[in-house]
Amino acid sequence: MILDVRKAIDESPMSRFQIIAVTVCVVLNMLDGFDVLAMAFTAAHASAEWHLNGKQVGILLSAGLLGMGAGSLFLAPLADRFGRRTIILASLLIIAAGMLLSALAQSPDQLAALRAFTGVGIGGMLASLTVITAEYSPNRWRSAAISMQSTGYALGATIGGIIAALLLTRFGWRSVFLFGGLATVSTLPLVLAWLPESLDHIVIKRPQGALEKVNKILKRMGHLPADALPAAALQDAAAMDRRSGFVALLSPALVLRTLMIWAAFFLVMASFYFVMSWTPKLLVQAGMSASQGITGGVLLNVGGMLGCIVFSVLSPRIRLRSLLYTYIASGALSLVLFGFVTSSLEVSMIVALVIGATISGCIGGLYSLAPLLYPIEARATGMGWAIGMGRIGAILAPLTVGLLIDGGWAIGHLYFLFAAPLLAAAVAVSITFARIPAGVVDAHCKPQGAAAT
């Protein structure tokens, strides 16, 4: 039997092994949510210990995002050469070392450098997690699995926030980073035991013992072993090797979809990080108490989890295109509505829940779309650069808002402003879908066993 990897996965139900592999990806994605929130929770305590000014605190808060952007742009693409699982393991070691050393930092400069170092690991890992989730999910459940993986961020932020609050009151701010480092170390056995290398990557790259490695994974998935790997895959690998990596993203066939998915990630993540970073403070500035502001921030993350779960449930039944447009439009409308109701506690909390659900669902949808745009040989690179462009938006948006507030902008007008990037993202997504070959759209974006919508 000659193996057709994609057919074997796409036409079979998800095995227990595949479900566990995707679950491991969700758990690892939680590290992103915890890492971002860890610095936000500890900033006030570190500031009090070192007598930091606002600029220094801002550097600490942005250093991790800068590192994540660098990791997405420069570490993640190495997965196309060395393997997704290999880069995930290397990234986890970087994250663990960065977290543990952050607990020992003796100055703000040291902590900022270590935050950036930790961010490199997270940025390098996220693209490979999405690619592995996509490659081990059958057609019908691919978007659902990737969206479910996206819930890891909100879940990590919510659970991590609760743990961080308890640690801060008893053991001080350094304990938060110590916990994060130990939690990261604890995930290494999970990856070694339950997260396989990409079958597509093995078939294309043909490492030593490739057939044996493929058959070992197939056995764990409940498939019959293959007698040989397809010869066409080797020919394709030779042809693509000269154009793999970043160069392939800007080839004539891919350049427009690459630029459009970069724009979509940049615009959506700009709105997302504006909402997540500034809403608690802006609610307080609008007249609410500090605890009410924190409640608003928690509801954003709770909404994020709910939004991604709903996206996962609807993905097998509704076209990815329609679902993503609906989430983007709903997110823009909810931001405009929030701009009108920031002075009303009850209404603003309800709308905050909706904002979290819709914008987080938008990100889950983009994560589902991006792997469809690239061939196997450039998939991790394409995903990494898309996430990296999103991180640039994540960095610039909060800084821009700070300048606008200093310039006297009203709170409601800020939410009106950040509805615009979502609408622009809808245009970029529309152009991206137009550039996907029809066969790919039919295979991956059309629900199976349900009416098209």
Backbone dihedral angles phi then psi of residue 228, each to the nearest 5 degrees: -160, 155
Question: What is d(CA 116, CA 237) in angstroms, rounded to the nearest whole number?
Answer: 35
CA torsion, ordered 95, 99, 101, 107, to nearest 10 deg: 120
pTM of the model: 0.79
Question: What is d(CA 371, CA 165) in angstroms, rounded to the nearest whole number?
Answer: 36
Q: What pLDDT score was predicted for residue 389?
A: 94
Question: What is d(CA 11, CA 139) in angstroms, rounded to the nearest whole number?
Answer: 8
Give the domains, in start order, of the chain with CATH numbers: 1-241 (1.20.1250.20), 242-453 (1.20.1250.20)
Q: What pLDDT score was predicted for residue 126?
A: 87
CA torsion, ordered 181, 186, 187, 192, to nearest 10 deg: 130
Output the six-digit token pair for 51. 């007598």
**What separation, in Å, do the N-terminal and C-terminal C-alpha atoms of the chain show?**
38
Q: What pLDDT score was predicted for residue 442?
A: 44
Question: What is d(CA 217, CA 202) in angstroms, rounded to the nearest whole number?
Answer: 11
Q: What pLDDT score was predicted for residue 405?
A: 82
Compute the half-sphere exposure of residue 7: CA atoms within 13 Å on the CB side of its CA: 4
What is the residue-level pLDDT of the chain in tens, covering all 453 positions?
555 666 777 777 888 999 999 999 999 998 888 887 788 778 778 888 998 876 787 788 778 888 988 998 889 889 888 888 999 999 999 999 999 999 999 999 999 999 999 999 999 998 889 889 888 888 777 878 887 887 888 788 878 878 887 888 889 889 999 999 999 999 999 999 999 988 888 888 888 888 888 889 888 888 888 887 776 544 444 444 444 567 888 888 889 999 999 999 999 999 998 888 788 778 877 888 767 777 787 788 889 889 988 998 888 888 888 999 999 999 999 999 999 988 887 898 999 999 999 999 999 899 989 888 888 778 888 888 999 999 899 888 878 888 888 888 898 999 999 999 999 999 999 999 887 765 554 444 444 444 333
Nearest to 22 by CA among 7, 9, 35: 9
Taken in order 256, 261, 264, 265, is the CA torsion positive or negative?
negative
Question: What is d(CA 415, CA 282) in angstroms, rounded to the nearest whole number?
Answer: 10
Nearest to 282 by CA among 416, 419, 418, 411: 411
Q: Is the distance from CB of 236 to CB of 224 less than 8 angstroms?
A: no
Nearest to 109 by CA among 185, 55, 175: 55
Question: What is d(CA 246, CA 451) in angstroms, rounded to the nearest whole number?
Answer: 38
Q: What pLDDT score was predicted for residue 2?
A: 52
Tokens 């993203």 appear where?
A: 249
Q: Is the distance from CB of 401 to CB of 270 less than 8 angstroms?
A: no
